[in-house]
Structure 1
Amino acid sequence: FLQEDDDSFMIINLDEVHERVKLWKRELPQVEPFYAVKCNPDEAILRSLAALGAGFDCASRAEIDMVLRLGVAPERIVYANTIKTRGYIAHADAVGVNMMTFDNEEELEKIAAYHKHPELILRIIASDPTAINPLSTKFGADPVRRAILLRNLKFLWGAELTFVPYSFHVGSGCNDPSAFRAALEHTRTLFELGRALGHKMEIVDVGGGFPGGEHHIPFEKV
């Protein structure tokens, strides 16, 4: 094989995928895992995770369609991209993918115009400055914008809105477990603000950044 073809290839140990899911369910039994398809969209990985009952974090129409073709229910997909095209939002509506993130007023207005039954997740700033890839400079609403967005939710949808409500991501390759605690403590304060505005507050999307390799802090420590 190697003598006939010099294209790059990947070797995947699906047993490791199974072990990671088992580890997650053991350490975080109350947290439903959603796999970020952009990490590795290999069909063998996606099929294995689907069979294990995992949800999927999709950032594009192509990723949504890829997961749906495997027979995954749209309720197990979150459209985790805070800036989506109008056509992609309409496509998500057409295929029944309702959970989606936002962090700005313009995105909120687009979703209101192109999706009939969105389940909205407000992404907030949270960061571990020691992470391999900090994300707070790219994504997430700051404290002032959060209050504005929470009020605009009621203005645009009223009682018909489903607000999930919050999402954060401390950064890929998080090296400081306390970053998760700080983000969750901050989210609790935002829950109180949301309830005061009449929103039903139930779920937190804890994002990614969880260690899985041998060269990072142990997952159990997080």
Structure 2
Amino acid sequence: MVEAGTAEIESTSIEKSGGSGLVVWSGASPVVRDVSVSKAAKNGIYLAEKAAGTFTSCDVVGSGFPAFHFGKAAAPVLKHCRIRDCAGAVGEDEGATPTFEDCTVDGIPMTPAAAALPVGAPAGAPVPLDIAEAPEEETLEDVLAELGEQIGLERVKRDVSSMVKLSRRSGCARRQGWPRRRSVATSSSPATPVPARPRSLGSTADC
């Protein structure tokens, strides 16, 4: 899992992972070269919301879900990548803007039409007007569950869990019209009391 920053990953093989082969976390922008992902149970390469990065000469083979998944507002650049024998080529959430340069799906140049072809279709096959229905793709809960199954990484697990909880609570507060907590301290005036938040009958998960 790539969590943040601009890490570099090069000349690596990822085989038979129980979830997605390579996960790029929200906001991360790695440089990935010559990485091969084969027989991932889910997506070969999964980019979370607002992830980016450059992926060059990467191979995704035999994934159970679409080879690449791009979360909301993800903006990666893929160059010379090859997809073979996967359940689909690309899945993306609203607002994702991937860029493909000289990529192929089973030898077919990667275009919006080629991405819509069922993987494994022969070159020159009729292009469907609608994107073929793909298996259900990974959710944030799936990715968190996979992280929880990893051995070690206890600090990473705690940090990710805290960030997710904070994000959910902030979203819930905005939807219910709660005031934002702001502490302003000066030398000449006492701190202003923070208004109490209204009680909710449901949990933050219900917001």
TM-score by length of structure 1 reads 0.27
- Higher-helix-fraction structure: 1
Between 1 and 2, higher relative CO (CA 8 Å, sep ≥ 6) is seen in 1
- Higher-strand-fraction structure: 2
TM-score by length of structure 2 reads 0.28
